[in-house]
A and B are shown apart, each in its own frame.
Chain A
Amino acid sequence: MPRQPHPPQLKQATQLPEPLLLSPFQLVDQHGTDFTRENLNQHWSLLFFGYTHCPDVCPTTMSTLQKTAQQLRDTQLSGGTVQFVLVSVDPERDTPEHLAKYVSYFNKDFIGVTGALQAIDHLTRQLGIMHAKQGAPSSDNYLVDHSASILLVDPQARFYAVFSPPHLASNLASDLKQLSNFYEQTL
């Protein structure tokens, strides 16, 4: 009888009962290079959905992700290294050039992703992410409501777990280690 894997001891994450393979999507990163489902293979990916004109929650979360990256710097995770991806929910203002300045401020290895709104929605719908522009559609000074969670995608491009707020870097790092160990046992 095969040995049952030890369930991960999670501090903050909620693991999906079954990982959910993402369907293909077509976005671009901060260098203008295609960013597709294939970019999620061979890595653990922490995805956060926000926008660069967001002054409060987004930079706070980006700083937490930067601290998470520091805490995982010397850690070997099963399945691949971790990549940190900000997906813009405001593609109208978040051009690749603008995202490049934004994400590299927090960490030179962070990835910023944008694209056509329809393409972004194709990804957000699969992940249960919500976003909605506030205010007059013609104004260029608007706010965007959006989901606060950080999502984890496994090295097979499968939606794997959700980190609900409030986010603590130590919890993210610890849970990611637990989840990658569990992942290895289930391969």
Chain B
Amino acid sequence: MNLMANIFALAGSLVVNLAVAAEGPLQLDNFWVREGPPATQVLAGYGRFHNAGSDPYILTGATSKTFNRVEIHRTTILADIVRMAPQHQILIAPGESLVFEPNSYHFMLIGPNHHLQAGDIVTLTLQYDNGVTQEIAMQVRSAAESGK
């Protein structure tokens, strides 16, 4: 394997490790941000939480240096109407998983400070009601991956 291939392999493994925070009772997996068209002011981020501990966790908010503001929203589609509503407390019960995914729970990432492209990494700081904060790196992925 030549030097460049080694560098790419190393970069790839770093990306994987950044996207997983498996230590501790609250495990985060597959966190990502959907790339948006140029000049997009609002993006969405997704990921999977798993509470492997014995205490409940309540997610109360998130911040990021890359965005002016981060909100947590849930999309519902009821009687064909799409509605997004802010979520201020989300319980992740012991032994349970919670998935943020398209057309459901998501991080609303408002006002990026630069145009994000597939492959970029952004960091989010998650806040819980017990005072715990948790940093998670999210990889930007092409929008093409989100449609079914």
Contact = CB atoms under 8 A, between A and B. Distances in A.
Interface of A: 52-57, 59-67, 98, 101-102, 104-106, 130, 134, 141, 143, 145-149, 164-169
B77 A60 contact: no
Interface in B42-101: 42-44, 73, 75, 77, 80-84
Interface stretch (B4-12, B15-23, B121-129, B139-147): B139-147
Contact of B38 (A54, A61, A105, A143): A105
B81 A148 contact: yes
A102 B39 CA distance: 9
Given A55-B42, A56-B102, A101-B38, A167 B148 contact: yes
A148 B82 CA distance: 6
A59 B36 contact: yes
Nearest to B86: A143
Given A105-B38, A130-B81, A147-B82, A56 B147 contact: no
30 contacts: A54-B42, A54-B82, A54-B84, A55-B34, A55-B36, A55-B42, A55-B43, A56-B44, A56-B102, A56-B106, A56-B108, A57-B77, A59-B36, A59-B146, A61-B147, A63-B143, A63-B146, A64-B148, A66-B147, A101-B39, A130-B81, A134-B83, A145-B81, A147-B81, A147-B82, A149-B80, A164-B80, A165-B77, A165-B80, A165-B103
A106 B146 CA distance: 12
A32 B108 CA distance: 30
A147 B110 CA distance: 23
